[in-house]
Chain A
Amino acid sequence: MHSNDYILEMRGIVKRYPGVMALKGVDFAVQRNTVHCLVGENGAGKSTLIKILTGVERMTEGSITLDGRPYAGRNVREAMNAGISTVYQELNIVNQLTVAENLTLGRESNRFGVLKSNPQERSFSMLREFAPDVPLNRPVSRLSFAEKQLLEIVKAVSTDAKLVIMDEPTAALSKRESERLYEVVRKLKARGITVIYISHVLDDIFTIGDEVTALRDGNIVGTRAVESTTREELVEMMVGKVVHSGYSTDGRTPGDVLLEARDLSTRSVHALNFTLKKGEILGFYGLRGGGKSETARALFGLDRLTGGQLLIEGKNVKIRNPQQAMRLGLAMVPEERLSEGLFMKLSVSDNIAVTNYKNTSRLCVVNEKNKDAIAEKYAHDLNIKLHSIRQRASTLSGGNQQKVVISKCLNARTRVLMLDEPSRGIDVGAKEEIYAIIRQLAGQGVGILVFSSEYEEIAALCDRVALMLNGEIIAMRKNSELDTREVHILTMGKGDKA
């Protein structure tokens, strides 16, 4: 095989972060003018690989050949010049500008800084081809997400890109919008462009993919032609032989029903029905966009209910905002620990006290001693490793930060604890510790909801699991009934939504 058939060859790519080896010598090659899908679970190394390719991160070892020439990928600029364009999940669009202004941003045709009137940009005609119903002079703020994404794709491609990377492009799209996107990807291919397509959604892969490569734990598991593989094979490549590790009930016996959802609906979830008993750990598993986080948001009063009922201990309750949720005994450990869960610049004890200043203050004056004592207690109970309770939260490790967030929730006298991706960004040892804490809390009678996109986590923790797809609970399984392959095939979706 001639190396010329490959537009991109990455050899022996190693990426070391302090304490972690994200890529362990990856060989990855992409044939010219194909759609090459990249699959793998969270943490498998997909995003690291892409970051190295686009110059956002530097590789520790390895070499890259792009279009027959060596490529170093020192920075974003170099990647762009080499013909690599990326469409990120988080779109790079200036909402205040018009479509045309966004398309030409940074590359406006001008003479001495004065814009040429009515320039006939190549990107404009491309937009007309890809999205004929998006007018050039419309402000981007009034476009839908899918239209913005199209805009970004056109912008990416119009820079003479040879290689376009798309990072989970259908995650936030409806079924019909996804169809349109497939069409766009096919058009790109017709123009001779190579696409690296990252997705969890098996439908995507089987609709538009030519080849698919699976990554797991920083290694390439294998590359297959899409025609000659099956869903089952792909899932096995991604998740490997999963051992149900660590699950135990610890003699817990779930008690009375604590929380019950009846036909709970918001704009993004539909008719959810589930119950949570005292001392039970209930998991929600699905892909991003499947409705896990949206379920958590609905329960915590962040999204407005459009229908259904929520009962706590048999009583009908209405939760319109997080304050009400907390008053009813709900607490949330958010996914974005740094931005949502912690005041990084405040001390550990301030962080823990913030959810319940009532028990540490009198007449609005905070009793520092009292506050520290409460924080000390949690630090001891949850084994938070720190040198002082007054230490800034930002100086703790990820696992210990997570414990502070949990302490915070417990301090609010929580009856139902919701954890969104509880072990994201936490190293393995700390993970086990967090799991132990969660089980221990359940043992004390707290009802626990775990929202996770890590299958192992769900399998290790949860007594029952709700599998989610497109904002619906498609199946409910007891821990003992969990079958790795079935779970993955179910949640990666047939995409029945219209």
Chain B
Amino acid sequence: MRAKKFDKANYQRLVIVGVLLVIMLALTVLSDRFLTIDNITNVLRQQVATVIAGCAVTLLMVSGNFDLSIGSIMAIAGSMTAIFVTWGMPVAVAVLIAVLIGTVVGVINGLLVILLDVPSIIATLGTMYAVRGAAWVITGGNSVSRGLSRDFTVLGRGYVGPIPLCLLITAIIFLLFFFIQHKTLLGKYAFAIGGNRRTALLSGINVRRVGVALYVLVGALSAFAGSMTASRLGVGNANIGDGFEFDVVVAVVLGGTSLDGGEGSVFGMLIGALIVGFIANGLNLMGVYSFYQEIVKGVVLVGAVLLDRVLQRRLQA
């Protein structure tokens, strides 16, 4: 039974949780304002979009694919949600349609990558530009703020009792994907395809269908993250989500997902997102100048992955 405890996946989880705790401990010592309920809630809220999109992106990357268009999907979905609300549509319907738009982009990505065999980086780089452009066209480059009903900000800033609504929703989505990863065919197949595509094919898995499904999920969730961000900001703005794809990839990779696929977990991604969030927040609180913050971010990213590598090699030796 001892052997089971040290399974690679569990082990990786331990390392990343350890890194998070060390960082939190360090920040607590360095800034007396860090460890307060308000501040922790803030960080969680700031990472909501990353975690929501990251859930689906984790599975996509586990299956060995990549999506660069998520920031753009976020922008178009956020802008469209705002526009629909200014037309008088109920917020829930507006969000739903925005998510559908994200789904459509996901389908396009899936078709390009899985069915037409365009390398995923190139295909989604293409949709990244095209969708961002579409968002600018739709908003005319301006932010959509006039004529938004009060309800618009509920999704991003509302509360259920003492708990921010956006955290509640994110928790539900996270649990759903935790379930998908561990308990459904989609999750298993993502790992199988990423681990050994040939074997997956020979085992009778419909590799293409799984691939497209994952892109669709990524599209839908990125769009939802976009609606939520727009709601939090109180405007629809085509500039949001610029560089978001990298924030998500950083969280996913910190969480132990291999860039070659086959390994990873949404739990790890969550911890990765928190690490990124806490570092940025802690450094802000300490008044560290933004240029230095970037350096710290880079060092932590590479450092955490390196630490994982080194410890893993020790374990195997």
Contact = CB atoms under 8 A, between A and B. Distances in A.
Nearest to B3: A138
B205 A96 contact: no
A152 to B, nearest CB: 10
A107 interface: yes
A93 B191 CA distance: 12
Contacts of A95: 195-196, 262
Contacts of A97: 188, 191-192, 195
Interface in A366-403: none
Contacts of B263: 96
Interface stretch (B50-58, B78-86, B136-144, B178-186): B178-186
Given A105-B199, A105-B205, A137-B4, A94 B185 contact: no
B112 interface: no
Interface in B190-206: 191-192, 194-196, 198-200, 202-205
A96 B195 contact: yes
Interface string B78-108: 0000000000000000000000000000000
Interface stretch (A110-118, A257-265, A286-294): A110-118
Nearest to A91: B199
Contact of A92 (B4, B183, B185, B198): B198
A142 B202 CA distance: 22
B309 interface: no
Contacts of B191: 94, 96-97, 101
A78 to B, nearest CB: 12
B7 interface: yes
Nearest to B201: A76
A275 B126 CA distance: 60
A139 B195 CA distance: 12
Given A106-B200, A110-B184, A113-B184, A94 B262 contact: yes
Contacts of B33: none
B311 to A, nearest CB: 16
B186 A113 contact: yes
Given A97-B195, A113-B184, A105 B7 contact: no
Interface string A121-149: 00000000000000101110110000000
Given A76-B202, A106-B204, A139-B7, A92 B184 contact: no
A108 interface: yes
Which of A76, A95, A115, A138 has its CB near the most chain B CB atoms (within 10 A)? A115
Contacts of B7: 137-139
Interface in B248-302: 262-263
A139 B191 CA distance: 12
Task: State the majority secondary structure of interface residues on B.
Answer: helix
A115 B192 contact: no
Contacts of A92: 196, 198-199, 202-203
Given A93-B199, A95-B195, A107-B204, A114 B4 contact: no
Given A96-B191, A137-B4, A141-B8, A106 B184 contact: no
Contacts of A77: 204
A196 interface: no
Interface residues of A, number: 25
Contacts of B202: 76, 92
B8 A139 contact: yes
Nearest to B197: A94
A105 B191 CA distance: 11
Which of A96, A108, A142 has its CB near the most chain B CB atoms (within 10 A)? A96
Nearest to A88: B202
A254 to B, nearest CB: 45
Nearest to B205: A106
A141 B203 CA distance: 18
A94 B204 CA distance: 14
A94 B184 contact: no
Interface string B1-22: 0011001110000000000000
B185 A93 contact: no
A135 B262 contact: no
B37 to A, nearest CB: 36
B196 A93 contact: yes
Given A94-B192, A94-B195, A105 B203 contact: yes
Interface string A78-112: 00100000000000111111000100011110100
B183 A115 contact: yes
A94 B199 contact: yes
B8 to A, nearest CB: 6
Contacts of A105: 188, 192, 199-200, 203, 205
Interface of A: 76-77, 80, 92-97, 101, 105-108, 110, 113-115, 117, 135, 137-139, 141-142
10 contacts: A80-B204, A92-B202, A93-B199, A94-B262, A105-B205, A106-B203, A115-B184, A117-B183, A138-B3, A139-B8
Interface of B: 3-4, 7-9, 183-186, 188, 191-192, 194-196, 198-200, 202-205, 262-263
Q: Which 4 A-B pairs have the closest CB atoms?
A: A106-B203, A94-B195, A96-B195, A96-B262
